[in-house]
Structure 1
Amino acid sequence: MNGFNRRDFFRTAGAMGMMGGLAEMGLAQPVGAGPVLHEVAASAAWENDAPKHSINFAVCGMSHDHIYGMTNAIIRGGGKLVAFYGSEPNKVARFKKQYPDAKQMESEDAILHEPSIQLVLSSAIASERAPLGVRAMKAGKDFLSDKPGITTLEQLAAVRKTVKETKRIYAIMYSELLEVKGAIKAGELVRQGAIGQVIQTINIAPHQIVQGGGGAAGGADPRPDWFWVPEQYGGILCDIGSHQVDQFLYYTGSTSAEIVESQISNIAHPEHPKFQDFGDMVLRGNKGFGYVRLDWFTPDGLGTWGDGRLFILGTKGYIEVRKYTNVGVSKAGNNLFLVDGQQQRYIDCNQVSLPFGPQFVEDIVNRTHIAQDQEQALLAAELVIKAQMQAKWVKLT
């Protein structure tokens, strides 16, 4: 113990601990490190304006509760819901309670042959949406389908043929882009060149089969029988993957693309042997690369139906969007993070305006494709169908 001085020892140890703490606090920043900026994105000036146009629309099939988001988007845009039809009594009862002013029709044909209806919306069983859309277009109406809007290449060919012949619109509600404020803001920043040329998108898209805390988006009700049958719901890549492939095309600007590799698996649902609870795919477009991971394993502790993440890599920076929550920090969604050559930015996007509804109603009236590019919507559908068809089934040991 010669030469040992307890007071000097603790003084030295304390100083060393403080230096470590300073480093952790970020005070030992490298030369040239830029500021961290916190912002709140503003709503658009037009948001409080009355819609420019009005159309009559109907709902035909409501097997998935996405129909409520779709319906509300068109109403925000100036649409008037005048009629609906559904074949499932529990779904019909809930929809009728939500929209009591709309007339309940006795059949699909009654809606398709009603001349005052300009637009038909549907969230019928996924495999039934495209045939209904073809009939609607041939009856002179535009069509907005829940995703996936198409489940086979034969359906896709029929949709493309009918679009060309009738000049009608076949839109697909890829809501994880069109109805997510953080994703809308990311698109604005990409178009402004905030991160340079986009190189790659990565989408992490976990979902929850039955959400413990309730909420229609997460499947609070027991899933119907068709949910477990790939021939009806399309398979995991075609179904929830359609959101992500649409974003890959949108952010990279790709007008052609291919599936490099895809795989699927059933890891934890042996009681439904054909169900797919995990899948991923790699994409290569003419203007960028993409990777998508999908699963049905969101735990109840998250408090929402999925911790969806979008990463956009550019030549001069990158963007991350934490769409539905900010894990361990806040339950608020629409969190956007941007890093470029000068700074780091956090942007709260919860006040951002959603343009799809007004733009789509204008498209119906003006025969334009501002809200959604027709070719891109159908290309996204084609890619996920092909990803599903060529996916390798992997069984983990």
Structure 2
Amino acid sequence: MTTMTITGREPCLSNSYTEKSTWRLSLRNLASKLSILPPESISLEAAATGLHHKEYYVRYNMAKMLSRRGDRDARLIMEKALKKGNPPTRASTARFLHGFSWYAAEPLIQIALQDMDPRVREATVYSLCNLHHSSAYKLMAEVLKNEVEDVRAAAVWGLRHDRDSAAVAVLESVLSSSKDVRLRVKALEVLGMNDIPEAIVIVRRLIDDPHPDIKYAATLSWLELTEDRQLEKLANITENLSGEGLEQVLRALFHAANYMKFDITQTEILDVVLPIFESALNDDYKKTRIAVAWPLAWIRHPRAAALLKQAYYQEQDAEVKAHILYVSINLLSKAGDELLADGLTKRHGEVYEMARQLEQDLADGTIRRVYY
């Protein structure tokens, strides 16, 4: 009789039995299901236990549910969590302190703002933003002067849709205390986006900032807030600018006028902006002269087309001259055909190569010379 060895690799119908009717509910899904129930349907003991759970979504939804209750029992549970919980528990709790009135929440907020863990203070700032209370804005403006950048970033993000004039002081605090250029740019974007008149003075001041990214963002936000009503002031600003600073202001003017649909063809606006562009054509910084070409090619007016031709013919730098040609064709300027014909006569150099490429693109249909 032959002995058979079982290896475990033999064909079989199934190596286990699974009950198809069973359904496993994860803790994360359970927490999500609980969040849609009325807050009174969860016992306070369960909510208190959930605040200390290792699973983030359990902590998050339990804190949210206690915030929705907003009563004395919920406040006491959250206060205990802020004082005795681990950092994740304290951060989850601090994130939902805005469910209480300002007078009930302030003692808890003061506890959370003294926390050594920046994640807890960051969550507290989000709650302060959601409170929409004058005292909350005032407290944030003061606290953020000596905070870490992540906590300041929470304020910028939390106020991104807040049109309360008191929020301006908070963003001003971030702008004056932060060393992070990207964060300061975000704060300027929020000021422009929220369309709060009180922000105009702050944004105007930052146009004079030496950092080019700040100067660009401030100019863009200032134009968003003032639209085309204060272009004469912008002309006065550019009189004292040159180089990279002037380039950033010109870029911001072009972008704002484009997406905000300024009607620059109006005579009173043209009389303001064209002298800005004409003066910039003589700037020593070549990127500034390149920046001028874009609005001149985009503005549909004979005076702008004439100034674009002037920019092309007086330009001595081949790279800049080629770029002006490129912009005039791609933005469908009326000056484009004349400049392209001139570029094809050069027979060598960057301008000629650009003209040949543009001629080929026109022949292939990559660029269509259709005037509007």
TM-score, normalised relative to structure 1: 0.24
Which structure has more RCO (C-alpha within 8 Å, separation ≥ 6)?
A: 1
Kindly name which structure, 1 or 2, has the bigger radius of gyration based on alpha carbons.
2
Give 1 or 2: higher strand fraction: 1
